[in-house]
Amino acid sequence: MVIVCVLIALAAGAYLLVSRIQPILTGSGCQAGTGRAAVSLEPQQAAIAATIAGVAHQRAVPPRAVTVAYAAAMQESHMHNLGYGDRDSVGVFQQRPSEGWGPARKLRDPVYASTKFFEALAAVPGYQQMPVYRAAQSVQHSADGFAYIQYQRLAARLTAAFTGGHPHSVWCWSPEPSHGKANLAAARRQLGKTFGPLDVTTAASPRDAPALRVRASQPPTGWTVASWLVTHAASYRIREVHYAGFKWRASAGSAGWTSDKGANTRGEVEAS
């Protein structure tokens, strides 16, 4: 009986490990990365990861900073926006108002929380040369500073996917179709809040539907924006995202990004 129980426990552990790498395409979910580097995420986790990458773009911080932020967010909340925590800590990074991070209502906004995290990280001398776990601990001042080690490798994979290092490698799927028109005005406002100034226009797409167009100066920026739009598609009823010869469709989300025969060549991310 003991041997059987041990085998079941080992099998369960192996399943959990594999399920983080090879997503099960049922229900709602998201994937970051491809092949053996793929990571499965819940929709909220993916949306928060995309937001952290967007704020990193706004603040012009290096990918290393994003990796540190992801390791901290995974340890503190498993990349969820928590309304509770130890003592008065809240939000993605479990930041405490009593420790000077800001009001709880603002810390529950992932954009604000990420901004505060990057501000604190920038004040850590030589953080880019530190191990990821030490840099995270220098910001978080956790009771167990070594806890961030377990997420270093995962955080690096997420950084490559969400900051455009690995193009067209973030997508989501849902069994529920979006109803009603896409709320492009709200998406545009939130893009500006997250990424800062962007060259954004709204016009008809080649498919005769209103479309949001974001001009990207560099491909990594374009893929960071595209990842944000895909991971927030359900919130704004976005059905399609097109960029750099690829397209993602909500109706076939689990297929990921596919070749786009009608691709525009103007360096624009298009959402409709």
Q: Using DSSP, state whether 240 is helix, strand or coil.
A: strand
Give the rounded percent of residues in the chain with a pLDDT score beyond 90: 70
Local structure of residue 177 (DSSP, 8 states): P
Mean pLDDT over 8-26 rounds to 38
| Token pair listed for 97 | 């108002």
Q: Is the pLDDT of residue 215 over 50?
A: yes
| The token pair that represents 82 in the structure block | 């928590």
Contact 25, 210 (CB under 8 A): no
CA distance 150 to 138: 16
At 37 the pLDDT is 85
The mean pLDDT of the chain is 87
Q: Give the pLDDT confidence of 110-157 residue by residue, as tens digits.
A: 999 999 999 999 999 999 999 999 999 999 998 777 899 999 999 999
Structure confidence at residue 203 (pLDDT): 80
Nearest alpha carbon to residue 214 among 237, 196, 235:
196
pLDDT digits (tens, 9 = 90+) for 153-203: 999 999 999 999 999 999 999 887 667 889 999 999 999 999 999 999 988
Asked if pLDDT for residue 8 goes beyond 60, the answer is no
Q: Is the pLDDT of residue 3 over 80?
A: no
Mean of pLDDT values over 51-77: 97
Tell me, what's the pLDDT at 22? Answer: 40
206 pLDDT more than 70: no
Of 27-41, 70-84, 194-208, 242-256, the one with minimum mean pLDDT is 194-208
Band (pLDDT 50/70/90 cuts) for residue 24 is: very low
Q: What pLDDT sits at residue 130?
A: 95
User: Which of 54-58, 88-92, 205-209 bottoms out in mean pLDDT, i.e. has the lowest?
Assistant: 205-209
**Average of per-residue pLDDT across 34-41:** 92
Cα–Cα distance between 133 and 147 in angstroms, integer? 8
- The predicted pLDDT at position 164 comes to 95
Mean pLDDT of the region 36-63: 96
